[in-house]
């Protein structure tokens, strides 16, 4: 089954939850543009999440969802808020949502955990989740070790549930590759940072547009909190301290509030500009609808081109 049929959307594409960026307004704009918008609850309180859900509902009659970061101290309250507000889709990041899944399923919510490796699939499938978002290390934000190329087919082999590919998808060619790897659709984040509707500071958008393929790095591996961001003064100092054996507390001095500084103040020096490895493919700021239509149209052309090549 194609992801758009599972979700009731026009395109088989999910906008990845992005803490401090994916507001109710942005998620509604994504849903109105034909993909599944997700409210990124990562940096929110449970009350804020409720407000964003209500805003989203007031701006779209299309399906939308919520991404809950399980390390958020309010995750348990948020798990209840999505039920009370009648949210239809929940994705989870940074942990195992086992304790919340039965109540979500009882409420008719479709649940898609983000997985960085097949071990998580084995633990989560028996809980009755609806599928998996297999996220490769190419992606922006919190990352695992495996690449999308290696991970997606192995997750497909580990489960008969739908698998959505994430990480490194910003063009029709990459979307076609995701289907070739066995996915039923894709989750994207980085390519939407440079959408007209994305509410990040213009300095952040310009930094993403300027970035080349090798301009991202991963901070936090030594403290088990790897995050892919654009290289800047902050990442250089962070990595220097990390190499010198700094503790988690010392390293947190760099990252505390750093995403907010990038998103709201446009601080490209000490801010944390989360961004994936596909940034080098992004050359202009465009409306969400144009981005989705191009991804779909180009992927169809690529698949036709492939068929001709192999025939
Ligand atoms: C700026 C940014 C913030 C992100 N924040 C979150 C988050 O809060 N929760 C989450 O599950 N994933 C988060 N992600 C990952 C995305 O949901 C998505 O899986 C990823 O962006 C897909 O890979 P791509 O960046 O190569 O498109 C974030 C990604 C970016 C670029």
Residue 14 has what pLDDT? 98
Whole-angstrom distance, CA of residue 8 vs CA of residue 5: 5
162 ligand 1 Cβ < 6 A: no
Q: What is the CA(140)–ligand 1 centre distance, in A?
A: 5
Give the pLDDT confidence of 127-175 residue by residue, as tens digits. 999 999 999 999 999 999 999 999 999 999 999 999 999 999 999 999 9
22 lines ligand 1 (CB under 6 A): no
Q: What is the pLDDT of residue 309?
A: 85
Structure token digits, residue 214: 């090798």
148-158 helix and 172-180 helix, angle to the nearest 10 degrees = 30
Residue-by-residue DSSP string for 201-233: -HHHHHHHHH--TT-EEEE-GGGT--EEEE-SH
Contacts of 119 (CB under 8 A, 6+ apart): none
The alpha carbon of 83 and the centre of ligand 1 are apart by a number of angstroms equal to 23
**How does pLDDT run across 30-85, given as a tens digit for each residue?**
999 999 999 999 989 999 999 999 999 999 999 999 999 998 899 999 999 999 99
Q: How far is the CA of 38 from the centre of ligand 1 (A)?
A: 11
Which residues face 114 on adjacent strands?
133
Q: Are 89 and 16 in contact (CB under 8 A)?
A: no
The pLDDT of residue 87 is 97
Q: In angstroms, what is the C-alpha Rg of the chain?
A: 18
Taking the CA of residue 38 as reference, the ligand 1 atom at the shortest distance is: 17
Asked if residue 271 has pLDDT above 80, the reply is yes
Ligand 1 neighbour 275 (Cβ under 6 A)? yes
Q: What is the pLDDT of residue 133?
A: 98
pLDDT band of 98, cuts 50, 70, 90 = confident
- pLDDT score recorded for residue 294: 98
Do residues 137 and 143 make contact, with C-beta atoms less than 8 angstroms apart? yes
Indicate whether 97 pLDDT > 90: no
Whole-number Å distance between alpha carbons of 186 and 163: 9
The structure's pTM equals 0.96
Instruction: Output the residue whose Cα is nearest ligand 1's atom 31.
Output: 140
Q: Is the CB of 97 under 6 A from ligand 1?
A: no
In the predicted model, what is the mean pLDDT of residues 227-254? 94
């Amino acid at each position: 089954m194609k992801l758009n049929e599972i979700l009731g959307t026009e395109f088989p594409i999910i906008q990845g939850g992005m803490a401090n960026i994916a507001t109710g307004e942005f998620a509604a704009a994504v849903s109105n543009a034909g993909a599944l918008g997700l409210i990124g609850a990562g940096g929110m309180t449970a009350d804020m999440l409720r407000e964003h859900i209500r805003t989203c509902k007031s701006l779209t009659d299309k399906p939308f969802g919520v991404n809950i970061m399980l390390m958020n101290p309010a995750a348990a309250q948020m798990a209840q808020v999505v039920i009370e507000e009648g949210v239809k889709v929940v994705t989870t990041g940074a942990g195992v949502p086992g304790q919340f899944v039965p109540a979500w399923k009882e409420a008719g919510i479709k649940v898609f955990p983000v997985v960085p490796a097949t071990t998580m699939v084995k633990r989560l499938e028996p809980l009755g989740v609806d599928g998996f978002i297999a996220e490769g290390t190419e992606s922006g934000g919190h990352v695992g070790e495996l690449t999308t190329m290696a991970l997606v087919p192995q997750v497909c082999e580990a489960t008969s549930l739908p698998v959505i590919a994430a990480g490194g998808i910003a063009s029709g060619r990459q979307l076609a590759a995701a289907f070739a790897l066995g996915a039923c659709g894709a989750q994207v984040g980085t390519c939407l940072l440079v959408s007209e509707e994305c509410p990040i500071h213009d300095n952040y958008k310009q930094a993403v547009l300027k970035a080349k393929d090798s301009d991202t790095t991963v901070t936090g591996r030594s403290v088990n909190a790897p995050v892919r961001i654009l290289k800047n003064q902050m990442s250089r100092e962070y990595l220097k301290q990390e190499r010198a054996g700094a503790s988690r507390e010392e390293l947190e001095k760099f990252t505390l509030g750093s995403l907010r500084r990038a998103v709201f103040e446009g601080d490209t020096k000490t801010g944390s500009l989360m961004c994936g490895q596909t940034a080098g493919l992004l050359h202009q700021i465009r409306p969400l609808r144009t981005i989705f239509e191009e991804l779909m149209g180009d992927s169809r052309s690529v698949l036709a081109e492939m068929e001709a090549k192999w025939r």
